[in-house]
Amino acid sequence: MAITMKASEFKAKCLQLMDQVAAGGELVVITKNGVPVAQLVPVSTRPKTLFGLDAGGIRVLGDIVEPVATAWEAQA
């Protein structure tokens, strides 16, 4: 859920709000004359590479190279 506040209020509480957003991940919408003009959101980090992203999360069960022993039926 987003917090909406006036720019003047944001200016007074900026450092406190930055800590709050970093800790809780809550979005802050800053308005000027009732119109949204900016958002304060937590920084999302991306890995430099996708290589190894699923390491330790995938298990191989059985032989994945040899054909299966079950005969398959398919329409020609």
Q: Is the pTM of this model over 0.95?
A: no
Q: How many domains does the chain have?
A: 1
22 in any annotated domain: yes
pLDDT per residue over 1-36, tens digit each?
789 999 999 999 999 999 999 998 889 999 999 999
48 in any annotated domain: no
Distance CA 14, CA 6 (A): 12
Q: How many CA atoms lie within 13 A of 21 on its CB side?
A: 19
Full residue range of the structural domain in which residue 26 is found = 3-40
58 in any annotated domain: no
55 in any annotated domain: no
pLDDT per residue over 32-74, tens digit each?
999 999 999 998 888 788 888 888 888 888 888 887 777 778 8
76 in any annotated domain: no
7 in any annotated domain: yes
